[in-house]
């Protein structure tokens, strides 16, 4: 048995593997939805996922349609072949859109409009050509199907693969390389090279057709020259594309890790600034204010129009300026969400991209109009909720978070519940949690952190509704 005979016998297996490679690639990308990502690649990959899934279904059609033809009548078989052909054009159009979306951020504004509609335009031109120009003049359906397949590869498949290859290479060098992840850049460049090769074997090697170049470069002549079916080369290229693209998805984990790290650093800074602010308010300002009272009392008993009285008067003025400067610096240290009421502040936090980009945040707020809370108490409450939501993003691995706030009699109750991994077995209160509890005590209330009934964590803040001070 020759190698050619071996591939001919196992053609169905090669077809199944070829379709599976592209289908798995598309499915893997689709399952890695990154709606929060700031990378242009995240929005472009959805089109590569569509190409992989649709193209995989198309290639499986070559395997399953002949099996169904045994049991179906001719009109149904022709309808399946027609759907099979259209999926080829749609898959190539998705690949075209993938390349266009990669290059859209690099293109000038005038070219941006042209690029935006070019995949749809090329697909409509192909459909119009095969149905309105070719179908009336072709002698039979099989020859029309081969010609339409060839035109899809020439007009859409070949340019789309080259465009996508160029877009991946440029995106890797200009967008991903600055992130400092050379292995991902290498994967993207290999994926681009695989797409360039696919443009050759998938876009130029077509079924036999009676016009150039398909009359001398086609699947038959390729098999006769090399002794290997073109499907084998396409399968190997598809496998290389699948491995490199799936490895490239790691870039989103890198991005997520860096975002969370930045949030942690920001939260540490916020906590430290808050601590300094409280120390200024409770320590330095009070000491300076006390010193001012002592100097004022000394000024009242000092003889008028004497050098000591004048110096005491200047000292009082300097101490007042110092208190004003300290209060001004204290205001600049405030980094929690500013709002006139708890309800407004909770709405701001629920819509904050720092949180809503990672988890679906819902808010249920039942509070009377006109909060009788001072701005300082509002600030403490929002700071506690802010810290709790930061912990959800950083540690809970949750998909959803619910913030509820309601006033029962004379107390305000705020809960933050997530569906994450819950509390560790041995919970050690860090600086953030201690800061939350300190704020709750300053408000005259309590803070409770516990596991939810099924999974996740519940943070409950209970404070007096009326400002008692």
- Contact by Cβ (8 Å): 167, 96: no
Let me know whether 163 and 179 are in one domain.
yes
- Contact by Cβ (8 Å): 456, 438: no
Measuring CA to CA, which residue among 202, 203, 170, 174 is closest to residue 189?
170
DSSP string, 168-180: HHHHIIIIIGGGT
For the chain, give the mean pLDDT.
85
**Does the structure show a pLDDT above 60 at 421?**
yes
**Does the structure show a pLDDT above 90 at 243?**
yes
Let me know whether 227 and 264 are in one domain.
no
Let me know whether 15 and 118 are in one domain.
yes
Is residue 253, in this structure, part of any structural domain at all? no
- What is the mean predicted confidence (pLDDT) over 24-29? 92
Euclidean distance between CA atoms 112 and 98, whole angstroms: 14
Let me know whether 303 and 426 are in one domain.
no
Let me know whether 266 and 399 are in one domain.
no
Let me know whether 130 and 214 are in one domain.
yes
Final residue before a domain boundary, out of 309, 335, 361? 335
pLDDT at residue 330, rounded to an integer: 60
Cα–Cα distances in angstroms (integers) from residue 96 to residues 103, 161, 164, in the given order: 11, 7, 7
Name the strands in the sheet holding 411-418, side by side, starting at the edge strand that comes first in the sequence.
Answer: 360-366, 400-408, 411-418, 457-464, 446-451
User: With bands split at pLDDT 50, 70 and 90, how would you rate the model's confidence at 121?
Assistant: very high
User: With bands split at pLDDT 50, 70 and 90, how would you rate the model's confidence at 444?
Assistant: confident
**Does the structure show a pLDDT above 70 at 2?**
no
Kindly calculate the radius of gyration of the chain based on its CA atoms and give it in whole angstroms: 34
Domain with residue 136: its CATH number is 1.20.1070
Let me know whether 227 and 289 are in one domain.
no
Total of domains in the chain: 3
Higher pLDDT: 439 or 176? It is: 176
Higher pLDDT: 66 or 33? It is: 66
Is residue 342, in this structure, part of any structural domain at all? yes
Let me know whether 306 and 388 are in one domain.
no
Structural domain including 293 reads 258-335
Measuring CA to CA, which residue among 364, 366, 434, 432 is closest to residue 394?
432
H or E stretch at 154? none
Let me know whether 48 and 130 are in one domain.
yes
- Look at the block and give the residue holding tokens 């072709």: 138
As a whole-number percent, the residues of the chain with pLDDT over 70 amount to: 85
pLDDT at residue 306, rounded to an integer: 81
- Look at the block and give the residue holding tokens 């009285």: 309
**Does the structure show a pLDDT above 50 at 469?**
no
User: With bands split at pLDDT 50, 70 and 90, how would you rate the model's confidence at 366?
Assistant: confident
pLDDT at residue 422, rounded to an integer: 84
Domain with residue 437: its CATH number is 3.30.565.10
Cα–Cα distances in angstroms (integers) from residue 340 to residues 333, 349, 372, 382, 440, in the given order: 18, 14, 11, 11, 19
- Residue 125 CB partners (closer than 8 Å, separation 6+): 155
Let me know whether 39 and 160 are in one domain.
yes
Final residue before a domain boundary, out of 248, 267, 284? 248
pLDDT, tens digit, for every residue of 371-390? 567 777 888 898 899 889 88
**Does the structure show a pLDDT above 80 at 5?**
no
Cα–Cα distances in angstroms (integers) from residue 429 to residues 311, 420, 433, in the given order: 50, 18, 6
Let me know whether 192 and 151 are in one domain.
yes
Angle between helices 230-248 and 219-226 (to 10 degrees): 100
The burial of 251, by beta-carbon neighbours within 10 Å (0-12 exposed, 13-18 middle, 19 or more buried), is given as buried
**Does the structure show a pLDDT above 70 at 122?**
yes
Report the SS3 class of residue 451: strand
Let me know whether 262 and 197 are in one domain.
no
Q: Facing residues of 408 across strands?
A: 411
- What is the mean predicted confidence (pLDDT) over 183-209? 95
Least confident segment among 81-95, 133-147, 304-318, 321-335: 321-335
pLDDT, tens digit, for every residue of 272-283? 777 776 666 666
pLDDT at residue 455, rounded to an integer: 79
Is residue 380, in this structure, part of any structural domain at all? yes
- What is the mean predicted confidence (pLDDT) over 71-87? 94
Least confident segment among 31-35, 68-72, 228-232, 433-437: 31-35
**pTM score, two decimals?**
0.69
pLDDT at residue 411, rounded to an integer: 86
Measuring CA to CA, which residue among 465, 337, 339, 451 is closest to residue 406?
465
Tokens encoding 123: 């697909």
pLDDT, tens digit, for every residue of 143-159? 999 999 999 999 999 99
**Does the structure show a pLDDT above 60 at 331?**
no
């Amino acid at each position: 048995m020759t190698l050619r005979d071996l591939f001919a016998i196992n053609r169905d297996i090669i077809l199944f593997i070829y379709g599976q490679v592209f289908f798995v690639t598309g499915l893997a990308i689709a399952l890695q939805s990154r709606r929060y990502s700031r990378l242009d690649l995240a929005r472009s990959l959805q089109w590569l996922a569509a190409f992989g899934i649709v193209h995989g279904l198309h290639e499986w059609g070559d395997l399953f349609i002949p099996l169904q033809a045994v049991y179906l009548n001719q009109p149904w078989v022709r309808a399946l072949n027609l759907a099979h052909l259209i999926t080829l054009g749609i898959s190539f159009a998705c690949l075209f859109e993938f390349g266009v979306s990669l290059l859209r951020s690099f293109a000038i504004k005038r070219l941006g409009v042209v690029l935006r509609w070019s995949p749809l335009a090329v697909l409509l031109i192909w459909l119009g050509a095969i149905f309105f120009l070719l179908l009336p003049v072709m002698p039979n359906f099989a020859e029309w199907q081969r010609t339409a397949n060839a035109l899809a590869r020439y007009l859409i498949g070949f340019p789309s693969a080259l465009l996508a290859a160029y877009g991946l290479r440029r995106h890797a060098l200009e967008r991903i390389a600055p992130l400092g992840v050379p292995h991902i850049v290498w994967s993207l460049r290999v994926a681009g090279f695989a797409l360039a090769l696919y443009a050759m074997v998938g876009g130029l090697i077509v079924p036999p057709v009676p016009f150039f170049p398909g009359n001398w470069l086609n699947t038959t002549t390729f098999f006769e020259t090399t002794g290997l079916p073109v499907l084998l080369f396409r399968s190997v290229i598809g496998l290389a594309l699948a491995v490199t693209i799936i490895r490239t998805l790691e870039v989103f984990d890198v991005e997520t890790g860096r975002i969370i790290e930045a949030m942690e650093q920001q939260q540490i800074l916020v906590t430290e600034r808050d601590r300094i602010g409280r120390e200024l308010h409770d320590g330095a300002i009070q000491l300076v204010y006390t010193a001012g009272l002592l100097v004022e009392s000394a000024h009242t008993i000092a003889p008028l129009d004497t050098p000591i009285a004048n110096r005491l008067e200047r000292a009082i003025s300097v101490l007042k300026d110092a208190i004003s400067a300290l209060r001004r610096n204290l205001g600049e240290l405030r980094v929690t969400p500013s709002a006139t009421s708890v309800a407004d502040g909770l709405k701001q936090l629920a819509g904050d991209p720092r949180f809503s980009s990672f988890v679906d945040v819902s808010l249920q707020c039942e509070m009377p109009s006109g909060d009788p809370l001072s701005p300082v108490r509002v600030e403490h409450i929002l700071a506690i909720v802010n810290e709790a939501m930061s912990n959800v993003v950083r540690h809970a691995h949750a998909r959803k978070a619910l913030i509820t706030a309601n006033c029962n009699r004379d107390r305000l109750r705020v809960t933050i519940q997530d569906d994450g991994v819950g509390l560790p077995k041995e919970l050690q209160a860090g600086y953030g949690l201690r800061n939350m509890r300190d704020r709750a005590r300053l408000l005259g209330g309590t803070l409770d952190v516990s596991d939810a009934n099924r999974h996740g964590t519940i943070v409950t803040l209970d404070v007096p509704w009326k400002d008692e001070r």
